[in-house]
Chains A and B, each alone.
Chain A
């Protein structure tokens, strides 16, 4: 019973290519996230969607475009890949309620290691 799954696990590609990473959660959460972990293991949020609506868009190049076809899916498409895009990308989900309290624990996928050659 995988809670947050990502595909592919590994992605090796050439500079200039376009690639996508898929994420699915079966936790019934209303919010999904993309994080980037660089070579120094530093984690930084990239995007967040709540009920298919973009709510966080950090300073990320326009080459990165998230797409949320439904609440359970958040895909990440990257155009014109660059060497600096090499990293591990993590998807996460949580339930962010807008009335009253929120447990707000984020559950992470296993990560996608992207290597740009």
Chain B
């Protein structure tokens, strides 16, 4: 069964420090991987995705993610956190070997708290 796991409910980091939000996946074929961010009382905003090619993907707002096939991980990173990065982050996967339905499976979300 396809699944995505975000092992941390919350990540706390001081402003200016690097941050990592973890994600691991399980799919039957090669995955499409996505990160979305949800600010309070807002919809989900697309941050970045991995389809193929370079394992390091750069996205919006200075975020990047590293695809690691051997560890089946796609951790979200940022070199220097901002207070405004505080939000709920979702990792999602789509199994590209499935029929072309576009169905995304989301992790349970990780709340990022950046303190001044």
Contacts and interface: CB of A to CB of B under 8 A. Distances in A.
Interface stretch (A38-46, A66-74, A75-83): A38-46
Contacts of A56: 101, 103
Nearest to A104: B102
Instruction: Indicate the size class of the contact surface on chain A.
Output: 20 to 34
B21 interface: no
Interface string A89-115: 010101011100111111111110000
Interface string A10-26: 00000000000000000
Contacts of A111: 42-43
Contacts of B36: 108
A105 B42 CA distance: 18
Contact of B43 (A48, A90, A94, A101): A90
A86 to B, nearest CB: 16
Contacts, number: 61
A108 B102 contact: no
Contacts of A105: 34, 46, 49
A106 B43 contact: no
B106 A106 contact: no
Interface of B: 32, 34, 36, 38, 42-46, 49, 51, 88, 90, 94, 100-106, 108-109
23 contacts: A31-B102, A42-B106, A43-B90, A43-B106, A45-B103, A48-B101, A48-B103, A56-B101, A56-B103, A90-B43, A90-B44, A97-B100, A102-B100, A102-B102, A103-B51, A104-B32, A104-B102, A105-B34, A106-B46, A106-B102, A108-B36, A108-B46, A110-B43
